[in-house]
Amino acid sequence: MFQRVNRLAIELPNVEYGDANAASAVQELLGGKFGEMSTLNNYMYQSFNFRGKKKLKPFYDLVASITAEEFGHVELVATTINLLNKGNSFTAPPDLSPLQNAKNLRNTQSFIAAAQASMPVDSMGKPWNGEFVTSSGNLVFDLLHNFFLECGARTHKMRVYEMTDHPTAREMIGYLLVRGGTHILAYAKALEMVTGVDVTRMLPIPNLDNRVFDTARKYEDRGDGHVLFTWNYVGDYEGIKQIWKGPHPTTNEPLVVIEGMPKGGKVPELDELPEEFAPGIGPDEFQMIAKRLMANM
């Protein structure tokens, strides 16, 4: 089972202006082949389908705990897209065409189908595809795939970072560069445990330190690149300590496993968009709903 906590992985800057085309680019980090929906679903199905969980518990624990973190990453990227979709329309009667700006923006479908919010699609509007999931049942194959997937995700985050200077997008990408780096290293160390091959000698891929990116630097400084969380408070996934141990290959700082989850940040409140009929509940309707909710309490 999963427990949901009403927090984001980090606090996102909620600035006064948006950038709809930046939101379109960030969609790649959500619904693209190397987006967070892919990392989540790959690890989720591998954890569901894992054979020999007792015998190979440290490896199951690793994939299962990272799965839980990826749920939060999907939420973080989706929220970033929602915050980027700000100020692209105005409240007015339909005859004044309050959504007219959508005609000249890259992701017109977002205005039509999602009220200017995130969608399970890539930067060109192609839907996320279940064929992006690899769950072969072979431990080495799946770990190697996960290593490759995280390296691809890191590459795409770097490129989207270079596309936009919007502070909300860059804050999210900086954090995920650091957390993605821990997952790359975790799968590399797991592969070494299974095969004896030191995959960490290939890192980083691409060959660029996270500290080059301004918004990633503070997360490296506070140690986020050395920590894995169990996402559990009753000791179910502590087997990751048998893999996530020793010094970090780049910083030489000790690798740490923390029981539970990070503190996280507030989930932002999204503005109502009357021109999109979202949420489509006016003052009179709200009063009636409130009366029904309070009835017989």
The reply to whether 235 sits in an annotated binding site is yes
The reply to whether 166 sits in an annotated binding site is no
| Whole-angstrom distance, CA of residue 66 vs CA of residue 44 | 9
The reply to whether 272 sits in an annotated binding site is no
Please report, as a single letter, which amino acid is at residue 188: A
| Whole-angstrom distance, CA of residue 62 vs CA of residue 81 | 29
The reply to whether 150 sits in an annotated binding site is yes
> What is the Rg, in whole angstroms, of the alpha carbon atoms belonging to the chain?
21
The reply to whether 95 sits in an annotated binding site is no
The reply to whether 284 sits in an annotated binding site is no
Other residues' Cβ atoms within 10 Å of the Cβ of residue 157: 26
| Whole-angstrom distance, CA of residue 207 vs CA of residue 210 | 10
Cα four-point dihedral sign 271, 274, 275, 278: positive
The reply to whether 73 sits in an annotated binding site is yes
Tell me the binding residues for Mn(2+).
36, 70, 73, 150, 183
Tell me the binding residues for Ca(2+).
61, 235
Tell me the binding residues.
36, 61, 70, 73, 150, 183, 235
